[in-house]
Amino acid sequence: MGSYNFCIAVLVMFNLSFMGISTSLNPYFYAKVCPQALPTIKQVVGAAVKQERRVGASLLRLHFHDCFVNGCDASILLDSTSAFTSEKNALPNANSARGFEVIDRIKYEVDKVCGWPVVSCADILAVAARDSVVALGGPSWEVQLGRRDSTTASESKANNDIPSPFMDLPELINSFKKQGLNVKDLVALSGGHTLGLSQCRLFKNRIYNETNIDPNFAHQGRATCPPNGGDSKLAPLDPSPASFDTNYFSNLVSKKGLLHSDQALYNGGQTDYLVKTYSKNYGAFSKDFASSMIKMGNIKPLTGKRGQIRLDCKKVN
Ligand code: HEM
């Protein structure tokens, strides 16, 4: 940016904040307009997780899949219209992304308690991800707030920008780099796989054909996933899929990563040392996970007058 453009940008930001329109995120965005917003989200997430522990994992993943496609703007929640096809149809999301009904319930309760629709769907996704991690025994962090909701979605960007479970380390590093996230963010955030489940179709090739896998673990996996069919059967991403712990990383050290992309983080490359550290040090993992979640949550938010506060998270107003 040239110095002239920089001055203009500073002036615009100064004017917008003078007009009471915030251009950056902050944790107190709803403190005055709706102090009950955050406790309400926590309560709905807590109840949903109590009913089905997996939904906490699903909500964490929704925030990730939102942020990696054009920033954290709730684009993943929009249904198809004549103007665009939904990101829900994209390969990484179709018959896979879940938890949408919990987001709708949160939106309903939050709008009711606030008396009017002030809380964005994008902020709901960010707070629900944090509250899910906490509900499953993980660390807490202060969620930055003030994101606004997109008026469009991109199925093709979702296909291109969400990393695939068949990627090797350099591709994973590159996919995170494109989002402004570094190697440490990649490893810490992959620790999200301490929670939740995966379908056979996404790791079948690994348990039948790969060699950097513990033989007993591969054998067990084959019992769950037959060579033909059974593609949507489920296996846990780590041995304790409803608790936030270091088992995901110690599993990688013993070659028991479920996805190809998981084991890629511990396969003789530059991330081995981080995986080893996190496998032995819950404090280091949970601290780095929390800071990387904040970083991921800050990807390209819509602020100020850009975007909108949706009335229904599934539809543009
Ligand atoms: C590093 C690249 C990543 C790849 C390739 C990847 C891939 C996958 C795949 C293939 C599944 C299984 C989906 C299914 O069976 O339908 C999954 C599940 C999951 N992912 Fe990731 N993921 C990545 C990073 C992340 C990150 C950064 C987070 C969060 C911080 C995350 C959180 C989750 C969770 C919680 C689940 C379980 C969801 C559930 O049980 O509903 N993943 N991921």
Read off the tokens for 130: 């944090």
Q: Answer whether 303 contacts ligand 1 (Cβ < 6 A).
A: no
pLDDT at 8: 41
Read off the tokens for 315: 């539809």
pLDDT digit of tens for each residue in the chain (317 aa)? 444 444 344 434 444 443 445 679 999 999 999 999 999 999 999 999 999 999 999 999 999 999 999 999 999 999 999 999 999 999 999 999 999 999 999 999 999 999 999 999 999 999 999 999 999 999 999 999 999 999 999 999 999 999 999 999 999 999 999 999 999 999 999 999 999 999 999 999 999 999 999 999 999 999 999 999 999 999 999 999 999 999 999 999 999 999 999 999 999 999 999 999 999 999 999 999 999 999 999 999 999 999 999 999 999 99
Within 13 Å of residue 56, how many CA atoms lie on the same side as its CB?
27
Q: Ligand 1 centre from 61 Cα, in Å?
A: 6
What CA–CA distance (Å, rounded) separates 132 from 81?
30
**Do the annotations mark residue 66 as ligand-binding?**
yes
Read off the pLDDT of residues 143-182 as tens digits, 9 standing for 90 and up. 999 999 999 999 999 999 999 999 999 999 999 999 999 9
Question: pLDDT averaged over the chain?
Answer: 94
What CA–CA distance (Å, rounded) separates 24 from 31?
16
Query: Distances in Å between the alpha carbon of 154 and those of 86, 88, 96?
Result: 7, 10, 17
The full set of domains in the chain, from first to last, is: 23-163 (1.10.520.10), 169-295 (1.10.420.10)
Strands (E) in the chain, as ranges, are 197-199, 234-236
Amino acid present at 79:
D
What CA–CA distance (Å, rounded) separates 9 from 15?
10
In contact, 235 and 197? CB cutoff 8 Å: yes
Q: Ligand 1 centre from 145 Cα, in Å?
A: 24
Strand partners, 197: 236
Which has the closest alpha carbon to 230: 256, 199, 272, 252? 199
What CA–CA distance (Å, rounded) separates 300 from 4?
23
**Do the annotations mark residue 127 as ligand-binding?**
no
99 Cα nearest atom in ligand 1: 41
Q: What is the set of active-site residues? A: 65
What CA–CA distance (Å, rounded) separates 247 from 292?
19
In contact, 23 and 303? CB cutoff 8 Å: yes
Q: Given ligand 1 and candidates 61, 173, 178, 260, which is best to mutate, with the most ligand atoms within 8 Å of its CB? A: 61
**Do the annotations mark residue 119 as ligand-binding?**
no
Counting DSSP H helices and E strands in the chain, the numbers are 14, 2
Q: Given ligand 1 and candidates 193, 200, 237, which is best to mutate, with the most ligand atoms within 8 Å of its CB? A: 193
What CA–CA distance (Å, rounded) separates 208 from 231?
13
- Closest-CA residue, ligand 1 atom 3, reads 163
Q: Ligand 1 centre from 85 Cα, in Å?
A: 22
The crossing angle, in degrees rounded to 10, of helices 121-135 and 100-114 is: 110
Rg of the chain, C-alpha, whole Å: 20
Q: Ligand 1 centre from 193 Cα, in Å?
A: 6
In contact, 92 and 164? CB cutoff 8 Å: yes
- Closest-CA residue, ligand 1 atom 23, reads 190
Local structure of 24: helix, strand or coil: coil
Read off the pLDDT of residues 210-264 as tens digits, 9 standing for 90 and up. 999 999 999 999 999 999 999 999 999 999 999 999 999 999 999 999 999 999 9
Read off the tokens for 42: 């926590």
pLDDT at 18: 39
Q: Answer whether 136 contacts ligand 1 (Cβ < 6 A).
A: no
**Do the annotations mark residue 245 as ligand-binding?**
yes
User: What count of residues does the chain have?
Assistant: 317
Residues 6+ apart with CB under 8 A from 171: 163
